[in-house]
Chains A and B, each alone.
Chain A
């Protein structure tokens, strides 16, 4: 399906693999840049702080965070863990590349998380779309912002 075809539909359903169970919905925040935890986010505010990152200064609090994967420090999980304790964690996570950093980070964030979607979520989902992540059933529902 081309991007144009995707956009013409009101609701797009993607299938993938559960990383962390649960179901949550919210507004998508999409980035093509990989994310660092320690040294890449502010765990008290829930913002990206990395220099040269396209989301620098942007908050992921209560967003469905859609990103390629994790990079950098092993403090990835500890920092996303702290965002949960501080009440500024993402509502759900969707990512492409599985690593130990992102797997453990998703687990300790306690937010539904999915990977291995049948279409590239970085292409199909845009910032501002409404996204429901039903990780228990392996389903992601995307409502394009124009159709909302």
Chain B
């Protein structure tokens, strides 16, 4: 490992015990990866929270102990100074206002607020969303970042052309205090080039189809780098947000190229950049149906919980849901939760979208989602969602069957209490 003088000073403890512990973890992590040096970062997105029952014992020791153990992998409790570089909080387990609706015990809701006081005072920006790029943290091309959240990582690399590996709670904790992260993987230009060409033979345009393409693709390529060609229409933030999240759930996709759309490839040749093509894949009607059938694991058409907004909804998506619900009421046997970042909820509130949704019987939530919180409405037996990522994770996390479809399918299910979606 080659260290700069500044890095050596931190490792030797000359910058205080917290930075020493942070450097110690970065050294162990670099060693595990086989990284030869660190790279400077001024953009960290991590998970700085202590709001689950399993960390109660740590919380009792104070938040320095929480940060030391969970964000630095240090059993020694060290005092945590202000963050050295720009750092933000990703999604949390608790909506600070709607925690009662979630079914969260008051003690845990209080615990999260206290933790946010501690972390906030150290400069961690409480975006509390899985989509920091929707609320002000939009890295520029080439910027070295240290981000968690698989759906944000794939967006950061592919759509923005910034550079991050999928970091974890401990490495982002260390990066925030040192401004360093291992120079490995997606920080290095050659590692960002395509590995597989994906010929899309059916038109992919609406949001659900971007999710199906992503879900199928992730399972096939795992952590490789697909290059899309064929019948993909010009996507938007919303579509690529869903696509990347799906591909990073069924597999570990951290980077993809869509020549002419994403910033590091104007052509297929440029996307591969001389790297040997490991294979060519085809996404056609059969693959589309396979992804759809895999995601739909429910057999019971009675739906009692509808979840919309994973990754967190853009304001246009909240507007679409509000419009579809305008003047209608959801079924008394069904609950509807709509998730959007708190900063966008403010806009939705101002626009009257929150009222339109709540007048229909739905709830607009922020800060969390059912997969992260592990809370669905009490008594839920069958879930419907427009998110391939939630459809992938909720059966494992909550042990409940899921229907997956379009936002319209989901809103209709909320209104009627019955699933009537299907693949067109």
Contact = CB atoms under 8 A, between A and B. Distances in A.
Interface stretch (B24-32, B200-208, B272-280, B416-424): B24-32
Contacts of A19: 32
Contacts of A52: 294
A32 to B, nearest CB: 12
Contacts of A103: 29, 32-33
A47 to B, nearest CB: 11
Interface in A105-138: 105-108, 113
Given A39-B397, A75-B47, A81-B169, A104 B371 contact: no
Contacts of B169: 74-75, 77-78, 81
B32 A106 contact: yes
Interface in B3-34: 25, 28-29, 32-34
A51 interface: yes
Contacts of B167: 74, 100, 104
Interface stretch (B145-153, B228-236, B332-340): B145-153
Interface string B169-204: 111000000000010110000000000000000000
B47 A78 contact: yes
B169 to A, nearest CB: 4
A78 B91 CA distance: 14
B170 A71 contact: no
Contacts of A104: 29, 32, 167-168, 170-171
B108 interface: no
Interface string A33-74: 010000110011000011110000000000000000111111
Nearest to A53: B396
Contacts of B153: 74
B170 A39 contact: no
Contacts of A69: 222-223, 252
A30 B395 CA distance: 23
B54 interface: yes
A17 B393 CA distance: 33
B70 A81 contact: yes
Given A19-B32, A69-B223, A99-B252, A75 B397 contact: no
Contact of A74 (B34, B166, B294, B393): B166
A39 B294 CA distance: 17
A100 B28 CA distance: 12
B104 interface: no
Interface string B357-394: 00000000000000100000000000000000000110
B165 interface: yes
A82 interface: yes
A44 B397 contact: no
A20 interface: yes
Interface residues of B, number: 40
Interface string A83-112: 001100000000001111101111110000
A20 B171 CA distance: 16
In this complex, the member of A49, A74, A101, A103 whose beta carbon has the largest number of chain B beta carbons within 10 angstroms is A74
A20 B32 contact: yes
Most chain A beta-carbon contacts within 10 A, residue among B32, B73, B147: B32
Given A34-B252, A39-B396, A113 B54 contact: no
Given A74-B153, A78-B70, A82-B54, A100 B171 contact: yes
A105 B251 CA distance: 17
B69 interface: yes
Interface in B61-87: 69-70, 73
Nearest to A68: B222
Contacts of A71: 222-223, 251-252
Contacts of B166: 74, 99-101
A36 B69 CA distance: 22
Interface of A: 17, 19-20, 34, 39-40, 43-44, 49-52, 69-78, 81-82, 85-86, 97-101, 103-108, 113
12 contacts: A34-B222, A39-B392, A72-B248, A74-B149, A78-B168, A78-B170, A81-B70, A85-B69, A100-B171, A103-B29, A107-B28, A108-B73
Interface of B: 25, 28-29, 32-34, 47, 54, 69-70, 73, 147-150, 153, 165-171, 182, 184-185, 222-223, 248-249, 251-252, 294, 297, 371, 392-393, 395-397
Given A78-B47, A81-B73, 19 more contacts: A19-B32, A34-B222, A34-B251, A69-B252, A71-B252, A73-B150, A73-B248, A77-B170, A77-B171, A78-B168, A78-B169, A97-B223, A99-B252, A100-B165, A103-B32, A104-B167, A107-B28, A107-B29, A107-B73
